[in-house]
Amino acid sequence: MPGDSPLTTVVHTAAVLDDGALTTLTPEQLDRVLRVKAGAAWHLHELTRDLDLTAFVLFSSLAGTVGMAGQGNYAPGNAYLDALAQYRRAQGLAATSVAWGSWAKGGMAGLDAVGETSARHGVPLLPPERATVALEAALAHGDTSLVIADIDWERFAHAYTATRPSRLLDELPEARAVLTADEPTEGAVTAGLRERLAGLAPAERDRQLREAVRAQVAAVLGHDSVETVELRRRFLELGLDSVTAVELRNRLSTATGLRLPTTVIFDFPTVTELVRHLGTELFGDEDEAADAGAPGAAELERLEALLTGLPETDPSRTELAERLRQLLRAATGAAPDGEEAVDVEDLESASNDEIFDYIGKEFGIS
């Protein structure tokens, strides 16, 4: 540096992302991330600690403050930057470490997949114009370490506490307002799902409850049709994560009036299992009495479980379809007044999928 233009400011912005689940991280991944974050920052500290700097700025990350899924090697590097700022301040040196949220317009989180995940977890992309104004204010104020991020508290607070409680957010009014919001209590049911189901026969009640749950799952995932929500496919495979699982739980709590735990989606990880649980919670005693007086109800339940669990390529579907054709011929030999009898030839020529579809429509099996 020329003598008439001395170095007065250092800004460390370098970073590398190499995300992965904690159990899959390799020493090489750790080294790639930590060398750029922690190693380079320490070198800059050593090279400039004898200079009269007016600013020593470290670009840290929210990941180092609250932890982020899949960033077990990125979070500690950023926590190191925060610690280095504290260390320099203790020695009377200039230092400011900013734990940034996700930046838009060219930030590492601006990539489509990363940005989508960030927003889904309650950290929308931060416009650079706002970020730089906030940075200027932090430097003018002499802050040592701080967080600058755009936070959607409704999503973030639920996401952060979805799998475990945390005291980290206790003193943040926005977060506490979300986490302590009144939940529906047993018996405090809004005029909705429970009242609509109460007067129905058990089979129809189950069908409508199943469709209601599928509709809520589709809405949370942003799907236009419930047909994309498979009954026996695990919620995690459908695309639910800790954030959307909490959102689904809140929707179901509101619809049913039940006080559902935050883990309900993980405890009952498919639509079929969840519907069975909700039905028991809502109408357990009534269903037991109804089952006792409904011959064949238990058998139909087992048939439903079997049919919905069979893969499309299972060879046993052909044999089952033939047996179902025989049952349908016996069950539909005389149609009720005003209804059209099922044509035997139609049954004989129907494909397996058409037979299963007909069974679903006739007997409420999806």
Q: Flag whether 175 is in a domain.
A: no
Q: Flag whether 284 is in a domain.
A: yes
Instruction: Give the mean pLDDT of the chain.
Output: 79
The reported pLDDT for the residue numbered 177 is: 87
281 and 227 in a common domain: yes
In terms of C-beta density within 10 A (0-12 exposed, 13-18 middle, 19 or more buried), how is residue 56 classed?
Answer: buried
Last residue of a domain, one of 264, 294, 309: 309
Which range of residues forms the domain containing residue 209? 184-309
Residue 57, SS3 per DSSP? strand
Last residue of a domain, one of 261, 283, 309: 309
The reported pLDDT for the residue numbered 18 is: 81
297 and 202 in a common domain: yes
The reported pLDDT for the residue numbered 283 is: 84
360 or 340, higher pLDDT: 360
The reported pLDDT for the residue numbered 186 is: 41
The reported pLDDT for the residue numbered 92 is: 96
The reported pLDDT for the residue numbered 284 is: 78
pLDDT at 202 over 70: yes
Tell me what percent of the residues of the chain surpass a pLDDT of 90: 28
112 and 14 in a common domain: yes
The reported pLDDT for the residue numbered 185 is: 42
Q: What is the pLDDT of residues 123-171, one digit of tens each?
A: 888 899 999 999 999 999 999 999 999 998 887 887 777 666 778 888 8
CATH of the domain at 119: 3.40.50.720
Q: Which secondary structure element, helix H or strand E, spans residue 29, and what is its range?
A: helix 27-34
Residue 228 CA to residue 226 CA, distance in Å, equals: 5
Residue 49 CA to residue 28 CA, distance in Å, equals: 30
pLDDT at 336 over 80: no
Looking at the DSSP bridge assignments, the partners of residue 96 are 57
Give 78's contacts (C-beta < 8 A, 6+ positions apart). 37, 60, 61, 63, 64, 65, 99
CATH of the domain at 191: 1.10.1200.10
131 and 13 in a common domain: yes
Q: Flag whether 50 is in a domain.
A: yes
Helices (H) and strands (E) in the chain, counts: 18, 4
Last residue of a domain, one of 261, 278, 309: 309
The angle subtended at Cα 263 by Cα 258 and Cα 267, nearest 5°, is 95
Write down the residue that tokens 């080294």 correspond to. 31
301 and 193 in a common domain: yes
240 and 288 in a common domain: yes
Confidence band for 201, pLDDT divided at 50, 70 and 90? confident
Q: Flag whether 145 is in a domain.
A: yes
pLDDT at 343 over 70: no
Q: For the ranges 45-54, 334-343, 357-366, which has the lowest average pLDDT?
A: 334-343
Confidence band for 344, pLDDT divided at 50, 70 and 90? very low
Confidence band for 182, pLDDT divided at 50, 70 and 90? very low
The reported pLDDT for the residue numbered 130 is: 93
Name the token pair of 274. 């969840």
360 and 346 in a common domain: yes
The reported pLDDT for the residue numbered 190 is: 42
Residues 197, 209 contacting (CB under 8 angstroms) = yes
351 and 250 in a common domain: no
Q: What is the pLDDT of residues 214-260, one digit of tens each?
A: 988 887 887 777 888 888 888 888 888 766 787 788 888 888 888 88
Name the token pair of 130. 């706002």
Write down the residue that tokens 């049919």 correspond to. 307
The reported pLDDT for the residue numbered 143 is: 95
Q: In the 8-state DSSP scheme, what is residue 22?
A: G
Residue 124 CA to residue 335 CA, distance in Å, equals: 58
151 or 18, higher pLDDT: 151
284 and 359 in a common domain: no
The reported pLDDT for the residue numbered 293 is: 45
Q: Which secondary structure element, helix H or strand E, spans residue 351, and what is its range?
A: none
218 and 136 in a common domain: no
Tell me what percent of the residues of the chain surpass a pLDDT of 70: 74
Identify which of 64, 100, 113 has the alpha carbon closest to the alpha carbon of residue 84: 64
Q: Flag whether 201 is in a domain.
A: yes
Q: Flag whether 219 is in a domain.
A: yes
How many domains does the chain fold into? 3
The reported pLDDT for the residue numbered 195 is: 80
The reported pLDDT for the residue numbered 265 is: 85
Residues 101, 151 contacting (CB under 8 angstroms) = yes
C-alpha neighbours within 13 Å on the C-beta side of residue 274: 32
Residue 147, SS3 per DSSP? strand
Q: Flag whether 2 is in a domain.
A: no
277 and 211 in a common domain: yes
Residues 58, 93 contacting (CB under 8 angstroms) = no
Q: Flag whether 177 is in a domain.
A: no
Instruction: State mean pLDDT over 57-86.
Output: 89
The reported pLDDT for the residue numbered 104 is: 84
194 and 270 in a common domain: yes
Q: What is the pLDDT of residues 274-284, one digit of tens each?
A: 999 999 998 87
